[in-house]
Amino acid sequence: MTSRPRRTTARSIADDLRSQIRDGSLAPGEALPTSRELAERYGVTYKTVGAGIDVLKGEGLVVGEQGGRRRVRSDRAIVWNLTAFERGQRRDSPSGDDWSTAIRDAGRDPVQHVTVTSDHADDKIARWLGIEPGAPVVQRVRLRTVDGEPYQLATSTFPLDVAEGSPLMEERDVSMPGGILASIGHPQVRVRDEITIRMPRPEESEALKLPPGTPVAEHVRIGFGESRVVRVMVTIAPGDRHKLVYEMEV
């Protein structure tokens, strides 16, 4: 009995191209063959080729460009050492905060775009800060870019009496040696981190220009002063652009 040849499907096209991406045959940033070339190679229709490419887009391996060309994802991940971040001898200076300094030390170009708003604490923020829901707070939202591309969305929330009248109210990338909180008399003495891996919300995908299928890490850092919580910072970090590092003694 003669076996029938295996039919090429969108899934098998995706499997083949995925293997080429993983073994480096298709390098980061390299353009995929055109739909015509792939249709001829696999003996299928353009529609089947498109469905196979959509599988890879959904996995975050391939991105589309204006004009219809598709390329292998080429984002360069940053190493974010959360043990060293904001700890001990902070590296803040008038030219940049601790985060910007670490990015610059890695030979990259950091920029932070800042907006400041006055708001009222929702239930989650109130629980983190240890205040009543609806209490007045100040939020500093920073879109952090590296080499011109969005890498993090960081929202720091402060009780109103901590931020009011301080540089935290300034809508610009402001930093001070030792950190702003310490300089205004509210130093953090310890922090608690909470990390959740999840899919992004629509507004996060838009702000961070996330391709479909890209998960994010939600990093919550709660900063404790001597007698109360003085800040909570929620950072949304795309999974394809970060390596999170912790170091601890055991």
CATH assignment, 10-72? 1.10.10.10
> Higher pLDDT residue, 65 or 102?
102
pTM: 0.79
pLDDT of residue 6: 60
- C-alpha 86/C-alpha 96 separation (Å) is 13
Q: Which pLDDT tens digit goes with each residue over 135-165?
A: 999 999 999 999 999 999 999 999 999 999 9
Q: Which pLDDT tens digit goes with each residue over 15-50?
A: 999 999 989 899 888 899 999 999 999 999 999 999
Which secondary-structure segment (H or E) carries 183?
Answer: helix 180-183
| Percent of the chain topping pLDDT 90 | 66
Query: Which tokens belong to 178?
Result: 């030792």
pLDDT of residue 2: 47
Q: Which pLDDT tens digit goes with each residue over 179-207?
A: 899 999 999 999 999 999 999 999 999 99
Q: Which pLDDT tens digit goes with each residue over 40-87?
A: 999 999 999 999 999 998 887 888 876 668 888 877 789 998 988 877
pLDDT of residue 88: 61
- pLDDT bin (cut points 50, 70, 90) of residue 4 is very low
Q: Which pLDDT tens digit goes with each residue over 201-242?
A: 999 999 999 887 789 999 999 999 999 999 999 999 999 899
CATH superfamily of 78-245: Chorismate lyase-like (3.40.1410.10)
**What's the rounded mean pLDDT across residues 94-103?**
82
**In the chain, domain spans:** 10-72, 78-245
Query: Which tokens belong to 67?
Result: 């004009």
pLDDT of residue 163: 96
pLDDT of residue 95: 67
> 138: which residues sit within 8 A by CB, 6+ positions away?
116, 117, 118, 119, 157, 158, 159, 160, 162, 163, 164, 168, 169
